[in-house]
Amino acid sequence: MKHEEQFISVKVARLIIGFLHNTLTKAEAKALDKWVCVSDTNMEVFEDLTEGVDKNVFNADNLIIEPENIIDLWIIASLIVRRKMKMNSEVEDKYLDDWKSADKGNKAMYKKLQHPAYMQKMLVWNELKRQELLAF
């Protein structure tokens, strides 16, 4: 079925995107599950669209380690974006380069943050946390 043309509703597409970003409410998750279970075709479409992305499903809990690490990660992400826009000072570029070369984990994280999808995941997580705070 992968090469056949398939049409899904915008609502279902949004549910699948929400699934991939781990941002579905319980009601939305239930709606997606119901849609998937309606037919074998729906199951195949869902599997085709989510194949190989299990490792990329966003889970905000994976970012909640220690506040210092999260703050450092946001600083690094910001410096990477600023570097791409040629907005960093020499000191900021040196800080970013020193951080990247400090250990293999940092180098791997730097490489991941070059990809827009990882930046988007961070932005989604940040927006969710911002909404939680405003709800109080």
Q: Rounded distance, CA 49 to CA 32, Å?
A: 13
Residue 36 has what pLDDT? Answer: 92
**48 and 91 belong to one structural domain:** no
Number of domains the chain is built from: 2
Residue 88 has what pLDDT? Answer: 92
Residue 68 has what pLDDT? Answer: 63
Residue 57 has what pLDDT? Answer: 61
User: In terms of Cα–Cα distance, which of 21, 10, 7 is closest to 123?
Assistant: 21
* Domain carrying residue 16: 10-56
Specify the DSSP class assigned to residue 118.
Answer: H
**37 and 49 belong to one structural domain:** yes
Residues 114 and 14: beta-carbon distance below 8 Å: no
Q: Rounded distance, CA 122 to CA 4, Å?
A: 33
Does any domain span residue 51?
yes
**51 and 69 belong to one structural domain:** no
pLDDT of the chain, 136 residues: tens digit per residue: 454 677 889 999 999 988 888 788 899 999 999 999 999 889 989 888 888 776 556 566 655 556 666 677 778 888 888 888 899 999 999 999 999 999 998 898 888 888 877 777 777 777 777 777 777 6
Does any domain span residue 83?
yes
Residue 56 has what pLDDT? Answer: 58
What is the residue whose two structure tokens read 């990247």? 100
**98 and 122 belong to one structural domain:** yes
**Displacement of CA 24 from its chain's centroid (Å):** 13
What is the dihedral sign for C-alpha 48, 51, 80, 130?
positive
**118 and 94 belong to one structural domain:** yes
Does any domain span residue 2?
no
**28 and 90 belong to one structural domain:** no
**81 and 120 belong to one structural domain:** yes
**67 and 50 belong to one structural domain:** no
